[in-house]
Amino acid sequence: MKETEVFKRLGIRNKNELISLRQFSDILGCIWSNGNYYELTPKIPRLIDKIEFLNNPEGFHPIDINKEIKLNYYRRDRDNLQRKNRYVGWKVKIPRRVLLKEDISDYYTTNEGIPHNNVVHRGHLLGKQFKKFLFESTSIKNNIHFFDKNNIDNIYQQFSRANCNDKFNNGQSYFENIVCGIIENYISKGIFECCYYEVEAIFLDIDDKMPVGNRILFFDKENFENSFHVFVPNYSEKYVLENYSYLKYRKRFKSGFSKKVLKFIGSNYNC
């Protein structure tokens, strides 16, 4: 797809508007790739901060931009929870030398569910592939719910094209698979806590329900050549608004897709 059409599908006018977004404050430029994603510059902004993070014993932090929670949410101990913001991303160091035994405590779940079908997925920010690099296997089976589909701090509506990977398209899973391969190799060599991984949902407006894409940053301290910084735009060839300008697409990111609207797009299934 031509870059100009991508901008239209994202509800923005041009590249300047994209890199001027508040969440792109560290981004100086972006280059469109044939794999339907953007390579961002600088490759690793604030490098010293990433190195310091790798030295942090916790190594698992949310990204908070003061996005208010507006979904109906449920949590057993919500009366004791003071946070009113919805997280938009996560920073982790991998592979962990000492795997976590307990679930991440600070996240929200929704009892309404996030509307989805085969075109609009419930897309993870931090992918399920990373479970084994963060948590003990016995804990994953019994106690870890962070990666569940109703965790609104790690799930946003994402078009299948942006979520998945195929021969002509590099979606988020393409980059997750690259990272997993590198981490598996380090584990086999007994090398731990050498990589920094960051994923963030990017919004045109902080109050929007649906992100225009996910920014993914991977920093490999052992081999910098493995590092990358990309933006995977959240659009689909299957969702077309005929004879409309970018402003019409803009409204969809503001509202997200309801269950009613999704009945007319693709077919419902549990993805």
For position 45, what pLDDT does the model report? 97
- Identify whether the C-beta of residue 147 lies closer than 8 Å to the C-beta of residue 126: yes
Average pLDDT over residues 148-172: 92
29-78: pLDDT as tens digits: 999 998 899 999 999 999 999 999 999 999 999 999 999 887 655 555 55
Q: What percent of the chain has a predicted confidence (pLDDT) above 70?
A: 92
For the cut 70, the answer to whether the pLDDT of residue 189 exceeds it is yes
Q: What is the 3-state secondary structure (H, E, C) of 114-137?
A: CCCCCCEEEEECCCHHHHHHHECH
Q: Quick count: other Cβ atoms within 10 Å of Cβ 91?
A: 20
Q: What percent of the chain has a predicted confidence (pLDDT) above 90?
A: 73
Return the DSSP state at 20.
T
Average pLDDT over residues 122-132: 95
What is the total residue count of the chain?
A: 271
Average pLDDT over residues 175-188: 98
- Identify whether the C-beta of residue 26 lies closer than 8 Å to the C-beta of residue 45: yes
Report the CATH fold assignment for 3-262.
Extracellular Endonuclease; Chain A (3.40.570)
Task: Report the DSSP beta bridge partners of residue 110.
Answer: 73
Confidence of residue 203 (pLDDT cuts 50, 70, 90): very high
In angstroms, the Cα distances linking 41 to 25, 32, 96, 124, 215 are 11, 12, 28, 24, 12
For position 172, what pLDDT does the model report? 97
Distance CA 268, CA 113 (A): 14
3-state SS, residue 66: coil
For position 82, what pLDDT does the model report? 62
Domain residues of the chain, as ranges? 3-262
In sequence order, what E strands does 13-107 have? 29-32, 38-41, 60-63, 67-68, 73-74, 85-86, 89-94
Contacts for 141 with CB less than 8 Å, ≥ 6 apart: none
Between 112 and 190, the higher pLDDT residue: 190
Confidence of residue 270 (pLDDT cuts 50, 70, 90): very low
Average pLDDT over residues 212-237: 97
For position 72, what pLDDT does the model report? 56
- Identify whether the C-beta of residue 257 lies closer than 8 Å to the C-beta of residue 160: no
Residue 9, phi then psi, degrees to nearest 5: -65, -25
Mean of the per-residue pLDDT values of the chain? 90
